[in-house]
Structure 1
Amino acid sequence: MYKHYYVIINNMKVRYFSDLHLEFIKPHKIKKFIQKIPSGNNEICILAGDIGNPYQENYDIFMNFISKNFKKTFYITGNHEYYNKTKTIQETNEFLENYFQQFDNISFLNNKYENYENNCFIGTTLWTKITDPTYKINDTNSIPNFDYIEYNKLNMLSVEFLQDALQKNENCIVITHHMPSSSLIDIKYKTLQMEPYHQWFYCNMDELIETNENKIKYWIYGHTHTPSNVIKNEIQFLCNPIGYPNENKILDFQSSFEM
């Protein structure tokens, strides 16, 4: 059973997904998995990170499906795209830049923006700012040559890019993997035990959001595996994660909006 979530912008439907985690799907099941994804040749697709391992066949099968079944797709990486024993973040980004050259309708927005159909699509992983590295998650162990210092460098680059992109553009649809506000953290994670780990899940963009509320129309994000549709500062914040295979027995691919 699938629910229908979508937004209309300029009479065009936009579907958005995150956290598909294709790396955990068995290869012989991937085609059946993607057949459940609703699509349309006149629709836009937004992929807000943690889609899969770029070096696996599952990822390639999925991206070819997306290219063939959507008019246009905007894609950003999450943290899990970089989980790799040998490839650094820079090496994976270079791999992805080359990989997506084969598609004329998929844009890899790694700290980039693109104007399309009178809207500006702004994409960044939005790495968070780590203030207490004693509380760790898998990122520092699963990504080569990566620690909280590198994390904070990427955070600075993400924030500076986002500020610059918003300053230069109007009618913006922002796509980030990490959450842009602590207010978007699901209530089940707002516990004393989990609070020290919040730094790995959201980047405090509240001031930027307030300053640019007249420029931002939608903000699509992921990372959390809790779906959400929240209005904050007159901006619609949308999240449609699929999650790990054991999290969602009934898959919901149907989130979208109309442009």
Structure 2
Amino acid sequence: MNHNIRYLSDLHLEFIESNKIEQFIMKIPSGIDEICILAGDIGNPYQLNYNIFMEFISKNFKKTFVITGNHEYYNETKTIEETNDFLKEYFNKFNNISFLNNSYELFDGYCFIGTTLWSKITNPEYKINDVYKIPHFDYIEYNRLNMLSVDFLEDALQNNNNCVVITHHVPSDSLTDVKYKHEMLLPYNQWFCCDMDELIETKKDKIKCWIYGHTHTPSNVTIYGIPFLCNPIGYPYENVNLNFQSNIKIGI
């Protein structure tokens, strides 16, 4: 059976004006027979924009898999755990959208594996907004979540085949865009990439494709024979990627 998967990330709906959300959504092609993958930083799950978008996705795609990025957790009061609980309950109202949070789901012969894949912070003196925008969050908690993500991913790949892996953070240093390799930016790349090359090479026969986000740089690169795909929209002022047509066909 062939599947057409449409993948998106980094929509950042929290920055779209509420009176323009419908116009924004209309730019996204629907695919009633397609699978949709949303690889994080979709928007603020507590805002109306998020709900309007998910209602559209549910009505216009056969099946959707959603993970969180880091921005879903930007909140003045809600902890990561509270937001995860909220999202788990929220997505229960949809019969065709699955929220994957260090979890996987078997669907039509494939194993869809989802994790934010928090990275490992080795130089905490170089900070990004995560430590200021997420309540009770620091590099120690970041590294704890990294261990949970990596352990989960290793187990999921060990125990399954025909895997479609979905992460928010970039899974290989080789996927870091050259524009981020400037000397001044290098110390901050630790917050964006969780290098999984060793695991990828070891489990390459189990992975059909890997979809990720976070970087705001569109990509379609093959590593170890595996397509690594990123189709971000980015912040409104970036105008990074207005082509929402990207998809990948997977045959079984």
TM range (shorter): over 0.9
Q: Percent identity?
A: 71
Q: 1:76 aligns with which of 67, 71, 84?
A: 67
Question: How big is the shift at 1:250?
Answer: 6.5
* Length-normalised TM-score, structure 2: 0.98
- Counterparts of 1:228-239 in structure 2 under 5 Å? 228-239=219-230
Misfit runs of 4+, over 4 Å: none
Q: Determine the C-alpha separation between the residues in 1 that align with 2:143 and 2:180.
A: 23
Determine whether 1:216 maps to 2:173. Answer: no
Quick one: which amino acid aligns to residue 164 of structure 2? I
Question: How big is the shift at 1:35?
Answer: 0.9
Q: 2:47 aligns with which of 38, 47, 56?
A: 56
Quick one: which amino acid aligns to residue 165 of structure 1? A
Question: How big is the shift at 1:204?
Answer: 1.4
For the residue of structure 1 that corresponds to 2:237, the secondary structure is coil
Q: Determine the C-alpha separation between the residues in 2 that align with 1:43 and 1:228.
A: 21
* Length-normalised TM-score, structure 1: 0.95
Bigger RCO of structures 1 and 2 (CA < 8 A, at least 6 apart): 1
Determine whether 1:111 maps to 2:102. Answer: yes
Quick one: which amino acid aligns to residue 121 of structure 2? I
Cα pair 2:170 2:213 within 8 Å, conserved: yes
Question: How big is the shift at 1:220?
Answer: 0.1
Unaligned runs of 5+ in 1: 1-9
Question: How big is the shift at 1:255?
Answer: 1.2
Q: 1:199 aligns with which of 190, 208, 227?
A: 190
Determine whether 1:149 maps to 2:148. Answer: no
Q: Per-residue displacement from partner, 1:193-238 (whole Å, max 9, x unpaired)?
A: 1110010010010100010011001000000000000000011000
Match of 2:20 in 1: 29
Q: Determine the C-alpha separation between the residues in 2 that align with 1:235 and 1:194.
A: 28
Unaligned runs of 5+ in 2: none
Determine whether 1:181 maps to 2:172. Answer: yes
Quick one: which amino acid aligns to residue 93 of structure 1? N
Q: Determine the C-alpha separation between the residues in 2 that align with 1:45 and 1:168.
A: 24
For the residue of structure 2 that corresponds to 1:214, the secondary structure is helix
Q: Determine the C-alpha separation between the residues in 2 that align with 1:103 and 1:165.
A: 24
Aligned residues: 250
Match of 1:164 in 2: 155
